[in-house]
Amino acid sequence: MIYTKTVIAPSGMTAGNPFSTDIPVTNGLIYKVEFDFPPGSSGLLHTWIKDGSFPLWPSEPGESFSGDNQVIAFDDKYFIQAPDHRLKLWYYNLDDTYSHEFQVRVGQVLQEVFIASFLPSIGQADITTAITEAISAQTVDRESKRQDVLDYLAAEPYDPEAGGET
């Protein structure tokens, strides 16, 4: 899944009084983040994402991303363990004349099999359990089929004179 949030930051904002909006996500692994700054913002538009009060991107408290005609994109591995979770997108625009639109994109995988491809240790216990259950089921099935063959042979003994038929 790719979650997007498009925001228009009004002109005349200050760093000391930023605006914020929510980015709804769900439980799963965030594997990619992108901040898209279209042409014209001249580095005056600043933005960052927090999880509660914890700074995520950028991770240094008090820092922000800015740009002009630039996409800041990077891979990450941040695990959300709660459905209907919300990240907080903060922003301000120092331009005294123009508002600026920007977009944030968050890539997230939800199923354990995909999460395991990014974080093998997270899914390893589940994969080991699934393999153990599959082997157990195969063993039970194999034993059942073996018993069916033995029961058949006991009921229908082989007669070499009949050419294998009784």
Same domain, 44 and 124: no
The per-residue pLDDT for 128 is 65
The CATH number of residue 88's host domain is 2.60.120
Q: Which residue spans within the chain are E strands per DSSP?
A: 2-9, 19-25, 28-37, 45-51, 54-57, 70-80, 85-93, 100-109
Q: Which residue has the tokens 């009949």?
A: 162
Together in a domain, 62 and 79? yes
pLDDT at 164 (0 to 100): 54
Q: Are residues 80 and 130 in the same domain?
A: no
Q: Model-level pTM greater than 0.75? A: no
Residue 105 shares a structural domain with residue 124: no
Q: What is the pLDDT of residues 12-29, one digit of tens each?
A: 999 999 999 999 998 888
Run of H or E residues at 115: helix 112-118
Q: Which tokens sit at 6?
A: 């498009």
Do 96 and 152 have their domain in common?
Answer: no
Domain identity same for 148 and 98? no
Question: Higher pLDDT residue, 165 or 43?
Answer: 43
One domain for residues 37 and 101: yes
SS3 85: strand
Boundary-marking domain end, from 111, 130, 146: 111
Which range of residues forms the domain containing residue 128? 120-162
Considering the domain architecture, whether residues 23 and 95 belong to the same structural domain is answered as: yes
Higher pLDDT, 138 or 88: 88
Handedness of CA 42, 43, 44, 47 (dihedral sign): positive
Instruction: Kindly indicate the confidence band of residue 103, based on its pLDDT and cuts at 50, 70 and 90.
Output: very high
Domain-terminating residue out of 90, 111, 132: 111
Higher-confidence position of 2 and 156: 2
Q: What pLDDT score was predicted for residue 89?
A: 97
**53 and 133 part of one domain:** no
User: Given this model, what pLDDT does residue 118 score?
Assistant: 59
Banded model confidence at residue 117, pLDDT cuts 50, 70, 90: low
Contact call for residues 124 and 116 (beta carbons, < 8 A): yes
Higher pLDDT, 127 or 65: 65
User: How many folded domains does the chain comprise?
Assistant: 2
Do 25 and 83 meet the contact criterion of CB atoms below 8 Å apart? Answer: no
